[in-house]
Structure 1
C-alpha cells in the first residue's frame, strides 16, 4: 500500500486498516478510458467536471471572449457532486490504474486502496471527510444499475471551505439524484455555463475614422446583426439534468478614456435597437446633427491617443430540465481602441 501526503501518514499510523487520505488537489489530472457503457474518457481528478457545454446559437467564428459579471459578489458554485464511474469503469480503473481522487479531499494512490474498499468490502476510515467511516462495497456493485458519485471542484484552490462536497465516493442508483447537500441541479449547470459563454469582441464603428476633432461629435455605431443572442446548453451525463443559458446583448457603454469628453447620451449607455444595431451610421447629411450614440472630446490627444472603451452589456437568463429558470447577473465584455483627437475645427465629410 502506497501513502501520499502527511494526512495519509497520520491515518496509517493511527489505524493500520485505514485507507490512505490526502487533499485531492494534490493528485494529478490523469484520465482513464470509460468502462462497459462506452462513455469515452473520464477523469480521475476531482478538478475535472463531466458537464458538457455546447453552444446552440449565436456567432461561432471570429474573435470571442468570456463575460465578466456586473455583480462582483456573484460566483458560480465552488463544488457539487456528479457521477464518475459505472461499476465496470470503477473495476477497470481500480485494477489497472488506482491513482486518483476517491473524494474531493481524498487522493488515493495504489490499486489496493481502491480494491480494498470498492471490491473487498473493507470500510474506509478517513481524516477529512464526513462521515469518517464509510462502509465498503462488494465487487464494485457489478450487476447493479447506477454510478459512483464524487465531489467535483473545477477550481479547488479557491474553495474557502474544503469540507464542501467532501464525501467519499458513494453509490447512487441509476435515474436518481442523491439527496445530499450540494447535489447538482439545473441551476448548478446554468451557473457553470456562465463562464463558458463566448461573445464577440467586435470593435465599434466610428466617424470620423482617422481622427476626431475637438468639440465635434464622433458618431459611434454597430451595424445590425453584429450582436446576437448566444445560447449554450450544459448537460451532466447520466443524470438527465440540463440547463440552457442565454446571453442577450442589451446595451453599449462608452468610456472615452479621458474626463475631458462628453458622451451621448450623457450616461454613456447606448441601447441596442430591435434589429440588433447600436446607434446610427453616419451619413454626409448628418454633419450638423447630434448622434444618438457618440462622444464629443473637449481636448486634443496631443500625440498620445485616448483609449476608448466600448463595453457591451449582456443580459443572462436560463431554463432547466425540470422547468425551473430565472436570471443570472448581467455580464459585460469590453474592448479598447485608440482615439486620436485633433484641434482643427473642421472635418472632412
Structure 2
C-alpha cells in the first residue's frame, strides 16, 4: 500500500483526533518530573524522556576496530539487491513514561499528541481508552489496563531507518504502540533480531580509501609493466557493533579486506595476475613495491599496457573487496554480501620510439 493510500485508510477508520506526518517530526513523550526508576530502561535518547521522532533509533553504533586513517569511505555491496533494514520495532516507553505522556495530554488535549506508529499520533480520548481503560483499538485487539503499570516490559513502536526514509518499505513497521514483556522480542519479521542489527551495522561501516602506489605513477610505457602495490598494514579488518540495549540485542559486523581488483581501463592491456585480483598478504600489504632493476619484470600485482593513449588517458580503477561476516547475541552468526570500495586515476601510456640503422 502506498503512503498516500495508508494515510487515507487511517483517516477513514479512526473516529478520534489524529495527526499524520510523513516526516514524523513529533515532540518528546514523557515528563522529567515523572522519571522511571533508574534500574528500568526508559527508552528515548536522553534516558529520562521518550524521544518520539520516528527516526530517533536507540541503536548504539560503535566502531570497534579499523578505519582509523583519513577519509574513511562507505562500502558498496556487490549484490545490488541487498539493502539494510528500512524499519524495525524498538522499545520506546515504560509504563511510567506512557502514563506521564497521557497525563500531559489530559492537561493539554489540543496541543500534545502521542505518536503510536511512525505515521500516526493519537489524542487524549484514544490514548486513555486503549492504554488506561483497556478498550480495544477500533473494535479489534486487546487494550491495556492502567498502562501495564507494575508489569515487567515496555511498549514498542516502529522506527524508520533515517538513511532509507524515502524507501516505501520504511513504512512497513506500522503496528500500533504495543506491549512486549521484558527479555523477549516481538514475533514479527521486523523485530530487532541480531541479523537486523548486523545489517544495520554493515550500512555504518567505513573503510580506508584505496590509494594505490604505482610505478610509473601516471605515465606508463607500452609493453613495460606498471607495478601496483600498497604498503603493509594499510588494510586491516573493520568491525562495527550495533547494540539495542533496551531489547538486550547486539551484533558485530566485520569487514575483512581480501583482494584488490585492477581494471586497466582498456582491453588493450594485460593484468597481473590475469584475473586482475591481487590478493592481500598476511601483513596487510598488496603486491610488492617496485625496486631499482625491476623494469621489464612481471610484477606480483600490476598492468602492462599494449597500446599508447591518444590524447585521452586510460581510467585505471582499483577496488578493494571486503568480506563481511557478523556474530551477535545468542550465539547467532552468518555472512553478508561482500562490499567494495573503488577509486580511479588517469594513466597516460606512451610508446617508445626507436631508430633502426
**TM class, shorter-length:** 0.7 to 0.9
SS in 1 for 2:121: strand
* Structure 1 stretch displaced more, 58-67 or 328-337: 58-67
**CA apart distance, 1:146:** 1.4
1:338 to 342, 346, 354: 346
Which residue pairs with 1:150 in the alignment?
157
* Structure 1 stretch displaced more, 50-59 or 221-230: 50-59
* Structure 1 stretch displaced more, 152-161 or 83-92: 152-161
Gapped regions of structure 1 (runs ≥ 5): 126-131
SS in 2 for 1:274: coil
Distance 1:107 1:278, change over 3 A: same
Which residue pairs with 2:282 in the alignment?
274
**CA distance in 2 between partners of 1:343 and 1:227 (Å):** 35
TM-score (norm 1): 0.84
Q: CA-to-partner distance for each residue in 1:184-214, whole Å, 9 max, x for gaps? A: 2211111111111110113100101241112
What root-mean-square deviation, in Å, do the aligned CA atoms of Structure 1 and Structure 2 show? 2.8
**CA distance in 1 between partners of 2:300 and 2:76 (Å):** 26
Distance 1:243 1:281, change over 3 A: same
2:117 to 75, 87, 103: 103
**CA apart distance, 1:220:** 0.3
Which residue pairs with 2:222 in the alignment?
214
Does 1:27 find its partner at 2:24?
yes
Distance 1:120 1:19, change over 3 A: farther
Which residue pairs with 2:108 in the alignment?
none
1:147-186 equivalent positions in 2, closer than 5 A: 147-154=154-161, 155-160=164-169, 162=171, 164-186=172-194
**CA distance in 2 between partners of 1:32 and 1:294 (Å):** 60
Gapped regions of structure 2 (runs ≥ 5): 1-5, 106-110
**CA apart distance, 1:294:** 0.5
Across the two proteins, how many residue pairs are aligned to each other? 330
Q: CA-to-partner distance for each residue in 1:262-301, whole Å, 9 max, x for gaps? A: 2111111100011110000000021131101011122233
Does 1:114 find its partner at 2:121?
no
SS in 1 for 2:205: coil
Distance 1:308 1:245, change over 3 A: same
**CA distance in 1 between partners of 2:344 and 2:221 (Å):** 19
**CA apart distance, 1:90:** 2.5
Q: CA-to-partner distance for each residue in 1:233-283, whole Å, 9 max, x for gaps? A: 111121211111110000000111222222111111100011110000000
1:119-268 equivalent positions in 2, closer than 5 A: 119-125=132-138, 133-154=140-161, 155-160=164-169, 162=171, 164-268=172-276
Which residue pairs with 1:129 in the alignment?
none
TM-score (norm 2): 0.82
Distance 1:32 1:262, change over 3 A: farther
CA contact (8 A) 2:71 2:209 kept: yes
CA contact (8 A) 1:82 1:152 kept: yes
Distance 1:175 1:161, change over 3 A: closer
CA contact (8 A) 2:210 2:319 kept: no
